[in-house]
Structure 1
Amino acid sequence: MAAAAALGPWRAAAPRRRRAAARRRQAEEAGDPETDPGVVLRRLREAEEDLLISDFWSSALETVTRCLWEQRGQLKAPVGTLPEALGNLHLNSSPDEPDVGPGRSPGQALVTGAGHVACVCYGLGNFATCITARIQLAFLLLLLEHCGIPRSRCCVYDPLFSQLEVEVLHTLGVTVLPENEEGKRSVGATPTVFYLPHCGTALYNNLLWSNWSAEALARVVLIGNSFHGLEQRLLTRILQKNYPYVAKILAGLEELELPQTPQYADTFNDTSVHWFPAQKLERLSTDVWACREEPGYQDCEDLEIIRKTPAGPRPPS
């Protein structure tokens, strides 16, 4: 009896070992997304193909297009004033025109020639193994293509990127930033689309602080968490104390929600396109613009961003 009892578990385990070996063989044949860049690229292409034929994509592109149209209109200025703004960005037709050319949907009004527009993406996550992050990256790549923004003018960063993911991004032709900027990037004279899918509120706050002037914010289009949603979820005193630049800009922005569809309910929920109309920015008080203190977050709980690692002491020379 004892011998039979001892043999029992071994006999039960044998099929499991065979199943595990079969799974390993299948994984080897299909490739491992954690080690094989070809697998990641193939799955990324599949995510793009699924996005392109979805109802979500056409509506989302139209939403982004509309905001870029509005921004382009306010940046038009005589040569020598605003630095050519969206200069080479041209649109074949306005979002209200039904006829945008054969084989092109109304959401595809933005086309080639946006060579002077930049794009910055923070917080994608591990797209090699996470399907949500992979779909968000697919959205970014399609957006660059349909807006005519060269991939070389798109910078991406996430402190969680693996070496494999960095390799894949280089293959895709985008620029991987070498260090954690914590969202503190100034647009300067360049109109810039920022894409921050489901990022921590501090990242948006840092981005606003880095561009805290009416002239700079007029050049920003921001795709990320709904600012009005943040206003509703956070207590007013917490928002004003921990994320003051988000709190102060609420009166100076326009926001359009991305469409919600069951297929991408978890991927793009609570995501909006934000732009900053010059007229609204000019109506903000001088006191709003006067405070330019860099965010610190010393007493902020649930910060939800990975901070920049402080540089260590230099070795003696």
Structure 2
Amino acid sequence: MAAATDIWQAASPRRRCSAARRPRRKDVAAGSPETESEADSGVVLRRLREAGEDLLISDFWSSALETIGGCLRKHLEQLKTSVGTLSDTLGNLYLDPSPEESDVAPDSIPRETLVVGTCHWKCVCYGIGNFATCVIARNQLTFLLLFLEKCQIPRSHCLVYDPLFSQLEIATLNALGVAVLSENEEGKRSICGNPTIFYMLHCGTALYNNLLWSNWSVDALSKMIIIGNSFKGLEERLLTRILQKNYPYIAKILKGLEELELPQTSQYMDIFNDTSIHWFPVQKLKLLSTDTWVFQEEPDYQDCEDLEIIRNKMKGPSAADVNSR
């Protein structure tokens, strides 16, 4: 297993279709905007690496992995039942330390992984925030990158979007090898049959409601995992009539999911507070009334106050077109 610092190295450049040619390094004069941008990106990568080193040795990291691992075990067994052969689809789940665990260097990622083998997981991250300047956002991104490594999900299989990303942050994410979406989907992404983990910490409630609407079927929901704001917490904080009127898909799915809260530690209290991992057991989904699935009206939030998400005001192809990529 590669050392932990390898996660923060720039990935090999991906081929891009562009009429403009990026200037070669030798063509760029010292002190130019290009070199300044590269220097800034280097600072951000260094801060991410430092945050990763702190996270790896924290009690929160080991406890969070144990919580998430318990959920993944159940979810993978569900997928095994639905497709027949787990190894053909997602690989084998393995959470026990390898025999060589005692030989791992202190700066290495522990050799136990959440998922190994041929794995077709995809990951979508919404609303991570301005990680170049915000410590909370930077730690949340750090957790995501380490989580991808643990689950052996290639970074190229992780889609990331926040409407507030700066050009520096987009360049940094590209250097890390994750895919940055170019359009604000407002969370309206269909998984198209692919088992997908959505990483959505501290996002607006409408984003979760939109995501559920886009995957409103037993088959799709049973293939999804959401790491984000506690749905139980939403139920407790919002009046029932407000939840049912403004966020009907969240209201309807509360009896069809299982939720595990991520552990709370003082070091990461402000970063992962109110965060849970959610999955949707088939047996629970099938117990929901038929009327639950008949209602499939697209959310519009015209009468909703304090929406807490940035709407897509651009004209052109819809978010559904992006999902086909």
Q: Fold-level match, TM-score > 0.5?
A: yes
- Which residue, 244, 256, 262 being the options, matches 1:258? 262
Q: Unaligned 5+ residue runs, structure 2?
A: 1-34, 103-108, 317-325
Alpha-carbon distance in structure 2 between the residues aligned to 1:298 and 1:86:
45
- Which residue, 151, 157, 161 being the options, matches 1:153? 157
2:129 counterpart of 1:125:
yes
- Which residue, 265, 275, 283 being the options, matches 2:279? 275
Q: 1:83 to 1:99 in 2, by over 3 A?
A: closer
Deviations 1:154-196 (A, max 9, x none): 0000000000000000000000001000000111111000000
- Which residue, 103, 124, 140 being the options, matches 2:101? 103
Counterpart in the other structure of 1:180: 184
Alpha-carbon distance in structure 1 between the residues aligned to 2:250 and 2:198:
15
Alpha-carbon distance in structure 2 between the residues aligned to 1:32 and 1:258:
39
Contact 1:58 1:107 in 2 (8 A): no
Contact 2:86 2:92 in 1 (8 A): no
Residue type of the alignment partner of 1:67: C
Alpha-carbon distance in structure 1 between the residues aligned to 2:189 and 2:88:
19
Contact 2:125 2:159 in 1 (8 A): yes
Deviations 1:21-80 (A, max 9, x none): xxxxxxxxxx999970000000000011100000000111111111111111011147xx
Percent sequence identity over aligned pairs: 66
Q: 1:82 to 1:176 in 2, by over 3 A?
A: farther
Aligned residue pair count: 276
How does 1:187-206 map onto structure 2 within 5 Å?
187-206=191-210
Counterpart in the other structure of 1:207: 211
Counterpart in the other structure of 1:60: 64
The 3-state SS of whatever aligns with 1:272 is strand
Q: 1:52 to 1:35 in 2, by over 3 A?
A: same
Contact 2:113 2:152 in 1 (8 A): no
- Offset of residue 87 of structure 1: 1.2
Deviations 1:130-175 (A, max 9, x none): 0000000000000000011110000000000000000000000000
The 3-state SS of whatever aligns with 2:145 is helix
Alpha-carbon distance in structure 2 between the residues aligned to 1:49 and 1:33:
24
2:73 counterpart of 1:75:
no
Counterpart in the other structure of 2:140: 136
Q: What root-mean-square deviation, in Å, do the aligned CA atoms of Structure 1 and Structure 2 show? A: 2.4
Deviations 1:67-108 (A, max 9, x none): 111111011147xx5796971332224xxxx66544289994
- Which residue, 86, 89, 113 being the options, matches 1:87? 89
Residue type of the alignment partner of 1:269: N
Contact 1:64 1:273 in 2 (8 A): yes
The 3-state SS of whatever aligns with 2:305 is coil
Alpha-carbon distance in structure 1 between the residues aligned to 2:295 and 2:302:
18
Counterpart in the other structure of 1:13: none
Residue type of the alignment partner of 1:217: L
Moved more, 84-93 or 221-230: 84-93
Moved more, 34-43 or 52-61: 34-43
Moved more, 182-191 or 135-144: 182-191
